Structures are given as structure tokens and as C-alpha cells.
């Protein structure tokens, strides 16, 4: 049986590979799709701190309210 740490490392490698495929390899296959994908990833990156803050706020509201 795999340890939790090994499972997490495997999951990270899968996510990292997908990210590399989408950001680097797709450019060589389909440049226009890569450009659209880059826009979506950039929007997600610029908004993720907001989603994290909202999730934390929601967590504490449920814990203390």
C-alpha cells in the first residue's frame, strides 16, 4: 500500500505534467488554442487569491457562526 506522501507526489507529478502539456507542448501543436488556453490560465492565476480568501471566510463563518 502506498503512503499518503507517495500518493501526493504522484498527484503533483500528474498535475505538473498536465500544466507543462498545456503551457509548452500545446504551443507546438496548435498555437491558437495555446493562446486561448494561456488567457484562461492567466485569468485563473490572477483570481485564485480571491477564491482562497472567500473559501477561508466561508470556513470561519461555519466554525464560529
Tens digit of pLDDT for each residue in 25-60? Answer: 999 999 999 999 999 999 999 999 999 999 999 999
Categorize the per-residue pLDDT at 10 as very low, low, confident or very high, splitting at 50, 70 and 90.
Answer: confident
On whether residue 31 sits in a domain, the answer given is: no
Taking CA atoms, 62 is separated from 1, 20, 49, in Å, by: 35, 37, 20
pTM over 0.75: no
On whether residue 56 sits in a domain, the answer given is: yes
On whether residue 1 sits in a domain, the answer given is: no
pLDDT value of position 56:
94
The domain tally of the chain equals: 1
On whether residue 52 sits in a domain, the answer given is: yes
Give the residue numbers spanning the domain of 49: 39-64
pLDDT value of position 14:
86
pLDDT value of position 7:
79
On whether residue 19 sits in a domain, the answer given is: no
Chain centroid offset of residue 21 CA: 13
Amino acid at each position: 500500500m502506498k503512503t499518503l506522501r507517495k500518493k501526493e507526489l504522484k498527484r503533483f507529478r500528474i498535475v505538473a505534467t498536465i500544466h507543462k502539456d498545456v503551457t509548452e507542448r500545446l504551443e507546438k501543436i496548435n498555437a491558437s488554442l495555446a493562446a486561448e488556453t494561456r488567457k484562461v490560465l492567466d485569468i485563473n492565476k490572477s483570481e485564485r487569491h480571491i477564491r482562497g480568501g472567500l473559501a477561508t471566510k466561508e470556513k470561519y463563518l461555519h466554525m464560529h457562526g
